[in-house]
Amino acid sequence: MEEMECLSLRDGRGSQTSILTEAMVLEEEMKLISDYKKLVEHNVLTPKMKQLGSIRAKEYGWDSTYGFTKALGEMLIDKRRGEILAPLVIVRTSGILSTYKEPFPGWIEGIKTVDPVILDYGKGKLTGFPLNPNCVNGWIPADMVVNGTLGAMAKHVSMGKKADMSIYHLSSATSNPIVLEDLFKFVYQHFKSRPFFSPSGRPVQVSEMKFFNSLPDFSTHLWTSSEAAQFSSKKMFEFIKFKEHAEYLATVYLPYAFHTDWLDDSKTRGLIGSMSDEEKKKFGCDAKSIEWKDYIVNVHIPGLRRHIWKEKGSSKM
């Protein structure tokens, strides 16, 4: 089956982690979940299931349950489609950011991917983060995801018969990569020229983001940069809450801040190449067209401030 090897359980380096067939893996995991739910008390089921998911993901070489459960979902779709006379198209994306053009630049709903780090940095709360400055994450604007999905559907819907599974990657990682160092350079440039304001009305001053190689180094930085020893009890309580929040963010993002693999969008590039000029305008999903500095400084962060931060009432902290 076309690209079916992409659905097998692999680690972040692309090496096979199990000789089990996909059907065996899927059946085993579904049985494990069913049996486990019968043994766990209802009031602690959610945290216990999260813990189990993390354990199982790591056993198969995944950094988190996120990619692991998506792989299982793809297996389930393929297994249960039966004899439906329709092609099967799966679209995988990298991290999704605000819109590039449609319905208008910078639209976003909900705080996603790297956005919590950007906002905490802009508010002067976060001055560093653990990451590899040369890491590429392959972010893609939301409207390009929608357009790419519609374009893939339009290409395959005319087949009218059951066909092999077709998988498209919507990502900028190979076509138009941006490294984390450049991302945070653009973030710094935005907040340097257009700062947030504190409750007292003073502009929040930011310095260039510091990068750390490990969680312990980052935790040490949080203590030393805060002058916590001089805090009152109330201030210390607030600081400890933020420190826990920052360390949680760092833990969640750690696999993505140091990873060395990415989605190859060559099939999507083939899809774009097969489109007419009119179709390219209608289904605009070319990551090569993103001008990163302008997008981050003048589109994405203003969109965050307008649609996420201002939802809370103002641009004050």
Coil/strand/helix, residue 170: strand
> Which residue from 57, 153, 54, 142 is spatially nearest to 93, judged by alpha carbons?
142
3-state secondary structure of 97: strand
100 classed as catalytic: no
Q: Quick one: angle between helices 142-157 and 266-273, nearest 10?
A: 70
Catalytic pick from 58, 70, 125, 210? 70
Q: For 104, how many CA atoms within 13 A lie in the half-sphere containing its CB?
A: 4
Q: Is 70 a catalytic residue?
A: yes
Q: Classify residue 70 as exposed, middle or buried by CB count within 10 Å of its CB (0-12, 13-18, 19+).
A: middle
Distance CA 19, CA 156 (A): 32
The CA–CA distances, whole Å, from 177 to 95, 97, 112, 263, 269 equal 13, 14, 19, 11, 15
The Cα–Cα gap between 100 and 23 comes to 39
CB atoms within 10 A of CB 235: 13
DSSP H helical ranges for the chain: 22-39, 45-59, 65-80, 115-122, 142-157, 180-193, 215-226, 233-257, 266-273, 277-282, 292-295, 301-304
Which one is catalytic: 38, 58, 60, 66?
A: 66
Q: Which residues are catalytic?
A: 66, 70
